[in-house]
Amino acid sequence: MVMTFRPLALAVAALFAAAGQPAFASEPVGVASAVNQSAQSQRGGAGMRTIHIGSDFVNREKIETGASGLVQVLLADGSNFVVGPNSSLVIDEFVYSPSAGTGRIVATFGRGVARYVGGRISKQRGGVTINTRQGTIGVRGGMANLVDRDGETVFSFLYGKDLTFTGSNGKTTRVYRPGFSIFANGGQGASQRTPAAVVANVNRILGANRPSGSRPTASQIARFSTFNSALPPKSEAQYPAPVLNSGPTGPDPRDVNHANSVYIRSNTNTYCGYYC
pLDDT in tens, 150-179: 999 999 999 999 999 999 889 999 999 999
Task: Identify the domain containing residue 241 by its residue range.
Answer: 2-272
In this prediction, residue 38 carries a pLDDT of 86
**pTM passes above 0.85:** no
Distance CA 216, CA 205 (A): 23
Which is nearest to 23 in space by CA: 59, 50, 70, 68?
Answer: 59
Number of structural domains (the chain) is: 1
To the nearest 10°, report the CA torsion of 171, 176, 180, 181.
30
* CATH for 157: 2.60.120.1440
In this prediction, residue 27 carries a pLDDT of 82
Residue 258 identity (one-letter amino acid): H
In this prediction, residue 121 carries a pLDDT of 95
| CB-side neighbour CA atoms (13 Å) of 186 | 1
Which is nearest to 14 in space by CA: 43, 50, 48, 57?
Answer: 57
Q: What is the 3-state secondary structure (H, E, C) of the chain?
A: CHHHHHHHHHHHHHHHHCCCCCCCCCCEEEEEEEECCCEEEEECCCCCEECCCCCEEECCEEEEECCCCCEEEEECCCCEEEECCCCEEEEEEEEEECCCCEEEEEEEEEEEEEEEECCHHHHCCCCEEEECCCEEEEEECCEEEEEEECCEEEEEEEECCEEEEEECCCCEEEECCCCEEEEEECCEEEEEECCHHHHHHHHHHHHHCCCECCCCCHHHHHHHHCCCCCCCCECCECCCCCCCCCCCCCCCHHHHHHHHHHCEEECCCCEECCCC
In this prediction, residue 87 carries a pLDDT of 97
In this prediction, residue 36 carries a pLDDT of 82
Provide the terminal-to-terminal Cα distance of the chain, rounded to the nearest Å.
Answer: 53
Tens of each residue's pLDDT in the chain, 276 residues: 333 334 444 444 444 444 445 444 568 899 999 998 689 999 988 899 999 999 999 999 999 999 999 999 999 999 999 999 999 999 999 999 988 888 999 999 999 999 999 999 999 999 999 999 999 999 998 899 999 999 999 999 999 999 999 998 899 999 999 999 999 998 899 999 999 999 999 999 988 666 555 444 454 444 434 433 333 333 333 333 333 333 333 333 322 222 222 222 333 332 222 222
pLDDT in tens, 176-192: 999 999 999 988 999 99
